[in-house]
Amino acid sequence: MNQLQLRIFALSTILWVSIWFAIAGNPYLLTRLPINFSESIHYIRTAFPLMGIFWFILKFSGSRHGITWKLPANTAFWGYYGLLAMAAGLISPSPWLAFYWAVMYMLVFAVLKLFMMQHNTLESVMALNQLNWIVCTLIFIAMLFIARDVLFHGYGLQASGRGYERMVSGESAELISRSTGLARLSSIPAILALVMFLSSTPSKIKWAWLGVTLGCSVVVYLMQSRGATFSLLGTIVLITMFMSQKARLYGLAAVIVGVFVYLWGYVTDDFIYRIFEHVTRGQDVQQLEHLSGRTYIWHLAWENIVQSPFTGWGFQADRFLIQLEANHVHNTYLYALLSAGFIGAALFTIGLLMTWWYLAQLIMMRHKIEQKHWTVLVQCGALMAFFTMRGIPEVSGAMFGVDQLIMVPAMAYIGLLYRQMKADRMVYNNPV
């Protein structure tokens, strides 16, 4: 890595971290000067990524630096979706708000491209993913520490963090997060650590990874977020099925132990019922069928989608078009339709389907993939599985936020690894 590439990598890292701190920023602050210290901090974290990226692109863009700008096809489709949603913001109920969130959404792809300016693009994007996971984990730990005195209530199996709404709130900004957001953040290190546990050789560190998985899973359970809970369970099943034969043996052993523990009476039916009641938050069958009112919200969203089916209404339009207290659409694909119309939503869906196609092809080539890349590939694939499942009751990847920041680099890594493996296979099949 020469001096120019080192500078680009360092500045790209600063920009990426600044995007994380811009999550849940308040763009209305940018329409006036801050009036106190708190507003100044929120103003900086909201505006810094926008100011930094334009300077960086102007300074380093151009073929004279040997820059590679081409995103993998699966990731590029999400970028096209973002551009269409940005254009749709012209007819948004709040054009300024739509424009700001569109710029932030596209900023993720711009900084990703800056990471791809290295000669070894795959290694650079792998480093971006690992940086992403470290930042996410540190934010999760910081949130647990700051909210430790108000986070949980109750005891035993009925302990809960469901009542936890916001860590910091005020007129100028609301900093992440609600209990559902904390459950999502907790799921990410749980998934990553499980893959490390299954891929590590026997050692104290191996069992430490398992401890991280179990600890983070307990936090997900306590948050009573059904979307995160069932998505995490589904992801764990997929990891044990597809990662390796050793992972399948661990999964089979866990099932066998669970069955025998139940048959020997160590776990009672009442114990299982209390866990089920906790996870479902005591809701009856009818409430579960309506997904806590989501089906009605989806109906209202559809009514607005058909009023602008081809262009959509721009980012965050659901905040204005759905006239309910819970004015979030709570579904990835309806959000994409609402933001960018049928064409934009189709591009978004194609990008996601291509990612899963690439992943399936790479799994079939697993014996040709270097071990370090196989481990990162499984981690990226597992995160994609989690957010794909979570995308049914929540919005994952179709708007700027934690989900997009995790998913886009994972998609890029999967796409770049597939591109490299396909090129290597073509060279092997057609030697000079």
Q: For residues 269 and 281, give the distance between their C-alpha atoms in angstroms, rounded to a whole number.
A: 18
Concatenated DSSP letters of 249-275? HHHHHHHHHHHHHHHTTSS-HHHHHHH
**Number of other CB atoms surrounding residue 3 within 10 Å:** 7
HSE, side-chain direction, 13 A CA sphere, residue 213: 18
The whole-number pLDDT of residue 21 equals 87
Q: Which two tokens stand for residue 179?
A: 């209990």
Rounded to 5°, angle at Cα 219 from 214 and 224: 125
The whole-number pLDDT of residue 426 equals 47
Q: For residues 45 and 25, give the distance between their C-alpha atoms in angstroms, rounded to a whole number.
A: 7
Could you tell me if 221 and 229 are in contact, meaning their C-beta atoms sit under 8 angstroms apart?
yes
Could you tell me if 407 and 384 are in contact, meaning their C-beta atoms sit under 8 angstroms apart?
yes
Q: For residues 123 and 376, give the distance between their C-alpha atoms in angstroms, rounded to a whole number.
A: 11
Handedness of CA 66, 135, 395, 214 (dihedral sign): positive
Phi then psi for 153, rounded to 5 degrees?
Answer: -140, 155
Could you tell me if 239 and 247 are in contact, meaning their C-beta atoms sit under 8 angstroms apart?
yes
In this predicted model, what pLDDT tens digit does every residue of 278-297 receive, in sequence order? 777 666 555 555 566 688 88
Helix (H, G, I), strand (E, B) or coil at 233: helix
> For residue 233, which of 242, 250, 249, 220 has the smallest C-alpha distance?
220
Could you tell me if 175 and 24 are in contact, meaning their C-beta atoms sit under 8 angstroms apart?
yes
Q: Which two tokens stand for residue 168?
A: 């910091």
Q: For residues 143 and 139, give the distance between their C-alpha atoms in angstroms, rounded to a whole number.
A: 6
Kindly state the DSSP code that residue 68 receives in the 8-state scheme: -
Phi then psi for 94, rounded to 5 degrees?
Answer: -135, 85
> For residue 227, which of 387, 398, 406, 24 has the smallest C-alpha distance?
387
The whole-number pLDDT of residue 154 equals 62
Q: For residues 205 and 198, give the distance between their C-alpha atoms in angstroms, rounded to a whole number.
A: 12
The whole-number pLDDT of residue 63 equals 43
Cα 7 from chain centroid? 27
Q: For residues 80 and 88, give the distance between their C-alpha atoms in angstroms, rounded to a whole number.
A: 12
Element (DSSP H or E) covering residue 78: helix 73-88
Segments of the chain scoring below 50 in pLDDT: 62-68, 166-176, 426-432
The whole-number pLDDT of residue 291 equals 61
With 0-12 CB in 10 A as exposed, 13-18 as middle and 19+ as buried, what is 319? middle
Cα 379 from chain centroid? 12
Q: For residues 280 and 288, give the distance between their C-alpha atoms in angstroms, rounded to a whole number.
A: 8
What is the value of pTM for the model shown? 0.89
Q: Which two tokens stand for residue 402?
A: 């934690």
The whole-number pLDDT of residue 399 equals 95
